[in-house]
Amino acid sequence: MRPVSPFPILRATCAALLLLQACSDGISREPGVEWQGKPLGVAERVARPDDDALRAAGWAAPGSATFASGRPRLLLRIVPGEWGDTLRLLDFGDEVAAYAAFQQLAAAPEDIASGVSPCGDRVCFRRGRWIGLLDAWSWKGETWIGSALALPGDAPFTTIPQIFGSLLHQGRIPGSERVLAGEFMGRDVEATVFAVQADCRGDTALIYASRELTAGFARELARGPGWRLDTLAGRLEVFSEFAELAPVRLRFSRKGMAGVEGCFDEKLTSGWLSRQERALKKLK
């Protein structure tokens, strides 16, 4: 009798085991999304999720469905792991958009800078261009999830977008960095405005910068009541004339807009505007 080779049997057995493993897994993976160095399973992956998809995934807190900074480009629902429930992740594509969206979710101003905030019975957290959501009972702190969870293009919890480095530092109030989107000075805008608070001789002022707001917005704003438009050395400046409100001074050039609101010191305001105008080229 001719001996039977064991190799076809071994190959068939190995193939069956691999098929069984694949069938028992049945879970997709997202490149770069790992827990303690191991790829995490993705139970649901939705590109450009609409409001219904966001709410179904647990983003049901007021204002969390439609973000002023733009809709997230990706929603991931992660298979439960050691945290005990399903982790939800939103990828906004860049850290500025995620930072602006997190402003809408944060329960307190200090939560924006820390990158962690209670969101109802869950915890929201921001890491670079990502925002995550996790049930509060399973949350063990930012050190725990920061060391175990790896995300593509990730950043530490306390990192603010680098773009804020181009805004003035003199007198800046730490943790006041904000991204304004969708509306500015009471008008709907398709632009991003960066803002920080600063100390102005005991008053709290706001310093603005935007590459996207130019002379067209200045003229539109000046047509409204309470505003005055001046031409200054080839630039435009818009001043508020609301005597009952804090002063606003916005300067426009081909580089964009620099502005100061709430500072009654004209010399300090002019100095801030000049320095911020020179820094506009760093904004992208």
Task: Report the pLDDT value the prediction gives residue 282, as an integer from 0 to 100.
Answer: 78
The average confidence (pLDDT) of the chain is: 82
Taking only the tens place, the pLDDT of each residue in 241-252 is 877 778 999 999
Tell me how far apart the alpha carbons of residues 22 and 15 are, in angstroms, rounded to a whole number. 11
- pLDDT mean over 94-112: 90
The SS3 of residue 263 is: coil
Tell me how far apart the alpha carbons of residues 80 and 104 are, in angstroms, rounded to a whole number. 26
Tell me how far apart the alpha carbons of residues 53 and 35 are, in angstroms, rounded to a whole number. 25
Is residue 127 within a helix (H) or strand (E), and if so which, with residue range? strand 122-127
Residues whose CB falls within 8 Å of the CB of residue 185, separated by 6 or more in sequence, listed in order? 221, 248, 250
Task: Report the pLDDT value the prediction gives residue 2, as an integer from 0 to 100.
Answer: 45
Q: Which residue has the tokens 């996207």?
A: 212
Task: Report the pLDDT value the prediction gives residue 68, as an integer from 0 to 100.
Answer: 65
Task: Report the pLDDT value the prediction gives residue 45, as an integer from 0 to 100.
Answer: 92
- pLDDT mean over 215-236: 87
Give the pLDDT band (50/70/90) at residue 90: very high
User: Is the pLDDT confidence value at 6 over 70?
Assistant: no
Closest by alpha carbon to 276, among 172, 161, 203?
172
Q: Which residues pair with 196 in a beta bridge?
A: 207
Q: What percent of the chain is predicted at pLDDT more than 90? A: 37
Taking only the tens place, the pLDDT of each residue in 9-67 is 434 433 333 333 333 455 788 899 999 999 999 988 999 988 888 888 777 544 444 57
Closest by alpha carbon to 113, among 71, 70, 173?
173
Taking only the tens place, the pLDDT of each residue in 107-132 is 888 899 889 999 888 899 999 999 99
Please tell me the pTM assigned to this model: 0.81
User: Is the pLDDT confidence value at 198 over 80?
Assistant: yes
- pLDDT mean over 280-284: 78
Task: Report the pLDDT value the prediction gives residue 130, as an integer from 0 to 100.
Answer: 95
Higher-confidence residue: 224 or 59?
Answer: 224
Task: Report the pLDDT value the prediction gives residue 84, as an integer from 0 to 100.
Answer: 65
Domains of the chain (ranges plus CATH)?
27-150 (no CATH), 162-282 (3.40.1000.20)
Q: Are 140 and 146 in contact (CB under 8 A)?
A: no
Taking only the tens place, the pLDDT of each residue in 116-175 is 999 888 899 999 999 999 988 888 888 989 899 999 998 888 888 888 888 887 788 988
| Integer Rg of the chain from CA | 25
